[in-house]
Chain A
């Protein structure tokens, strides 16, 4: 991908961004269950954050049993 075409998710509240590490997710729904903003879309084998709703509260990060949602200080490509 041309770097100029890259789009980033920006945090509304702070510098840390939430990222779902690709290919590591088990699609278990734990993060979706704790998200106060209904900001995670989870299909059979597909997951993504609905950027406009996410407040970067990090509750999903704390709840992921297998360390799939993480902070990424550098910015997250969408």
Chain B
């Protein structure tokens, strides 16, 4: 361990590992600090991802694929089920192995990694971030960096210390709880989603199969809902009703920042990536793939800036992210806001109309098309998703 690196990454989730790897691959020195004992654990995730989202960064590998997904099952409040098939398109991951493997790719590229290192402050020189303070095994330490990359997840405090507003409106926070349960009868090629005010108002409920009759079962609700009823109460009710007595292998809480990306994700000496930057698809709540994309862009730009000896270059990161995904996420967010206000009747009507479409023509796009019959003002936004 040195006391100075070109890049210090805070957090070893998918975004942090990709930032570390893409910076290291360009030949700069990188240290990644993680507060927990293990990279990739605990897992706070439904673990669903598209194949394309994975393969942009790492070849598919059986050792972290729990289930191969080819169908969505969308369930309306009155029980009407809409099934959409789309070939071999996604996975349910074993993230404790997946995240670990991602970190190994960073290590292979030359990044150093230190776990049990809790970052608790930033170093500044002339108002510019120039390193971090951290606690390691009870000792307070410091490490200098030309660029700090904050990949510290939903709790995201590092960016705040650099003066960037990273906290999220509680109404946009999807407050989640999930169990991994055994003896669950569900098709192992299908992701199940449930909607409606009884299961997950202003959010959705999921059952994602993990193979061997196990599944991730959980939900997220907005903080507005949480004011009156917690995610935990909704989960307990659902389990009681659908899977009473199912053995619980894991139970976790978690938050998904379901909002467009922060207005500012870079400042002199610092970049923010992944959940910390709110680089989550606000409609689905998926943040693994988009976090990896954000991290890779951040890591690449940080290394370029150092190589060119032009540290201002890191400020181009905001635009690079916006062009790649940020703009899309703004559109997804508008759709989310539209859908969140749907009544149970509206969900039921959509499901009913959708099932009248011939089976081979049922696509996710058509769900939205049908949704539009009920809510024409969404049309422009949806059109943008598919055109832009």
Residues of A within 8 A of B (CB): 26, 28-30, 32-36, 38, 42-44, 59, 62-67
Secondary structure of the A contact surface, majority rule: loop
Contact of A65 with B157 in the complex, beta carbons under 8 Å: no
Q: Count CB-based A-B contacts (< 8 Å).
A: 86
Question: Considering residues A35, A36, A63, which has the most beta carbons from chain B within 10 angstroms of its beta carbon?
Answer: A63
Contact of A34 with B173 in the complex, beta carbons under 8 Å: yes
- Complex Cα–Cα for A35 and B167 (A): 6
Indicate which residue in B35, B232, B252, B257 contacts A44 across the interface (CB closer than 8 Å): B35
* A contact residues around B35 at 8 Å (CB): 43-44
Is there a chain A Cβ closer than 8 Å to B170's Cβ?
Answer: yes
Contact of A65 with B167 in the complex, beta carbons under 8 Å: no
Interface residue stretch chosen among B65-73, B101-109, B148-156, B367-375: B148-156
- Complex Cα–Cα for A32 and B175 (A): 12
In the complex, 11 of the A-B residue pairs with CB atoms within 8 angstroms, ordered by the A residue number, are A28-B154, A33-B167, A35-B167, A38-B167, A44-B36, A44-B118, A59-B170, A65-B226, A65-B253, A67-B230, A67-B232
Contact of A32 with B155 in the complex, beta carbons under 8 Å: yes
* B contact residues around A62 at 8 Å (CB): 170, 223-224, 226-227
Query: What is the chain A residue whose CB lies nearest that of B155?
Result: A29
- Complex Cα–Cα for A36 and B223 (A): 14
How far in angstroms is the closest Cβ of chain A from B158? 11
Is there a chain A Cβ closer than 8 Å to B231's Cβ?
Answer: yes
Contact of A29 with B154 in the complex, beta carbons under 8 Å: yes
Contact of A33 with B231 in the complex, beta carbons under 8 Å: no
Is there a chain A Cβ closer than 8 Å to B260's Cβ?
Answer: no
- Complex Cα–Cα for A11 and B169 (A): 22
* B contact residues around A66 at 8 Å (CB): 177, 230-232, 253
* B contact residues around A32 at 8 Å (CB): 154-157
* A contact residues around B167 at 8 Å (CB): 33-36, 38
Within residues 70 to 120 of chain B, which ones have a CB less than 8 A from any CB in chain A? 116, 118
Within residues 141 to 173 of chain B, which ones have a CB less than 8 A from any CB in chain A? 153-157, 160, 167-170, 173
- Complex Cα–Cα for A43 and B156 (A): 12
Contact of B170 with A63 in the complex, beta carbons under 8 Å: yes
Contact of A42 with B155 in the complex, beta carbons under 8 Å: yes
How far in angstroms is the closest Cβ of chain B from A14? 16
Within residues 248 to 281 of chain B, which ones have a CB less than 8 A from any CB in chain A? 252-255, 257
Contact of B157 with A30 in the complex, beta carbons under 8 Å: no
Please provide the 5 A-B residue pairs with the shortest distance between their CB atoms, ordered closest to farther. A29-B155, A30-B255, A32-B155, A65-B231, A28-B253
- Complex Cα–Cα for A62 and B230 (A): 8
* A33-B156 in contact given A28-B44, A44-B116, A66-B230 (Cβ < 8 Å): yes
How far in angstroms is the closest Cβ of chain B from A59? 4
Contact of B44 with A65 in the complex, beta carbons under 8 Å: no
* A contact residues around B118 at 8 Å (CB): 43-44
- Complex Cα–Cα for A64 and B255 (A): 9
Contact of B154 with A30 in the complex, beta carbons under 8 Å: yes
* B contact residues around A36 at 8 Å (CB): 167
Is there a chain A Cβ closer than 8 Å to B37's Cβ?
Answer: yes
* A contact residues around B155 at 8 Å (CB): 29, 32-33, 42
* A28-B252 in contact given A33-B155, A59-B223, A63-B170 (Cβ < 8 Å): yes
Query: What is the chain B residue whose CB lies nearest that of A60?
Result: B170
